[in-house]
Amino acid sequence: MKFAVDLAVCQNIGQCSFTAPEMFTLDDDGKLSFRNEATDEYVSPELTDDDADSAQSAAALCPMQAIRVD
Ligand code: SF4
């Protein structure tokens, strides 16, 4: 299982960084650090079961519905 963030939809609101801070970090500009690695979509490495649960919580709480877990 992996999560993906649609960086065109994400508005850097940061809710995910509170919900799952071990996976979603913000840079000094308050933007998801994934933006340094991808432009359109960031896809995570394979998740542990615990991380998959956290990613699903972050996806459920993202106000832009920018996170997909599959
Ligand atoms: S909660 Fe959603 S919109 Fe906010 S930074 Fe995370 S992915 Fe982007």
- What is the pTM for the complete model shown? 0.94
State if residue 33 touches ligand 1 by the CB under 6 angstroms criterion. no
68, 4 contact by CB (below 8 A): yes
Counting as low any pLDDT under 70, the low residues of the chain are none
Retrieve residue 31's tokens: 């933007």
Give the closest residue (by CA) to ligand 1 atom 8. 10
Mutation choice for ligand 1 from 62, 65, 69, CB with most ligand atoms inside 8 A: 62
Query: Token pair of 3, please?
Result: 């999560």
Q: How far apart are CA 28 and CA 68, in angstroms?
A: 25
Residues 58 and 38: their CA atoms lie apart, in Å, by 19
pLDDT digits (tens, 9 = 90+) for 30-50: 999 999 889 999 999 999 999
